[in-house]
Amino acid sequence: MLLPKVHIKKILYATDLSENALHAAAYAVSLANLYDAGLTILNVVEDSPLLDEKIIGYVSAEKWEAIKKRNEEDARQTIISKAGGKAAIGDALENFCKTVQEDMVDCTFRTDDILVLRGNPVEEILKQSEENNCDIIVMGTHGTGSFADAMIGSTARRVVRRSQKPVFVVRLPED
């Protein structure tokens, strides 16, 4: 059997912006460096119709939309620049590269795009992987929750189950 040659030119790195998500970023950056691939960083601010209905009972629909929009912008700023004293994911990725340069001759990667979207995380990850013509999706998982989610988190599990692209799931540290 002849194995097909693997070409990875575009990587979608899905992050929830947690400290643990940097663990998965290390793999995304390493793959981007190894394959000289572009990296698209995606964060999805979850929309919840049930929560919307409950909140609108306490504040106006317009005020709730303004709050959601502000939170979306906060997430975008966390990725792109410094927000709330936390290093931006972009800075963290660059720092990661500097740290591992001793082990790697060149740790270079290019960021094709940084996306902060609102919606269902699974749907947006799948949609962006197709729209951006990504060759692989890299994401972390906490693996917490019900027995079915013991080995892989529910978002990651649903992405793996439904994706037409390969998905590289990184188990995140528990501390």
Least confident residue range of 1-5, 30-34, 52-56: 52-56
**Residue-range definition of the domain harbouring residue 71:** 10-171
4 assigned to some structural domain: no
Please list, in sequence order, all residues whose beta carbon lies within 8 angstroms of the beta carbon of residue 107, skipping any fewer than 6 positions away: 29, 33, 97, 98, 100, 101
pLDDT at position 98 is: 55
Q: Residue 89 falls within a domain, yes or no?
A: yes
Task: Give me the chain's average pLDDT, please.
Answer: 75
Lookup result for tokens 């990184």? 170
pLDDT tens digit string along 100-128?
A: 454 555 566 778 888 888 888 999 999 99
Residue at 70 is within a domain: yes
- Span 53-99, pLDDT tens digits: 555 556 666 776 776 676 666 666 655 554 344 445 555 555 555 55
SS3 content of the chain, % helix, strand, coil (to 5): 45, 20, 35
Residue 18: inside a domain: yes
Q: What angle do CA 127, 131, 48 make, to 5 degrees?
A: 25
What is the CATH number for 85? 3.40.50.620
Residue 2 lies in a domain: no
**Global model pTM greater than 0.75:** no
Name the token pair of 53: 């209905």
- The amino acid at residue 165 is K
166 in a domain, yes or no?
yes
Number of compact structural domains in the chain: 1
* Within-domain flag for 133: yes
* In a domain? residue 1: no
